[in-house]
Amino acid sequence: MLPNSFHRGVSSADPTVTVTPPQTGTLHGPATSQNKTLTLTKEQKKEALEKKMKELEEKKLELQKKTEQAEAKKKEDGNPVAIIA
């Protein structure tokens, strides 16, 4: 809880300023709510899921290609490094 009045300056001789509290509901009212509700139809849900699945499939294929390239490069390096302890 904040005080209703405080000194404007550093010294106690400065004038006192009175602050009125904001009205209830003005800080986080429905107009400024950050939590939004979104209602999707079945078609919109289906489209959103299909789009997500397509993106995931693309990522999966990209990772498979990178893995295959790494394995091919590893096979090209036929001379393994021997560690001597």
The full 3-state SS of 19-75, as one line of letters, equals: CCCCCCCCCCCHHHCCCCCCCCCHHHHHHHHHHHHHHHHHHHHHHHHHHHHHHHHHH
Residue with the bigger pLDDT between 51 and 15: it is 51
pLDDT tens per residue across span 9-32: 666 666 677 777 777 666 655 555
Token look-up 């079945």 returns 42
Residue 48 has pLDDT above 70, yes or no: yes
- Residue 65 has a pLDDT of 94
pLDDT tens per residue across span 53-84: 999 999 999 999 999 998 888 777 766 666 67
- Residue 59 has a pLDDT of 95
- Residue 28 has a pLDDT of 59
Q: Check if the beta carbon of residue 16 is closer than 8 Å to that of residue 8.
A: yes
- Output phi, psi for 17, to 5 deg: -110, 135
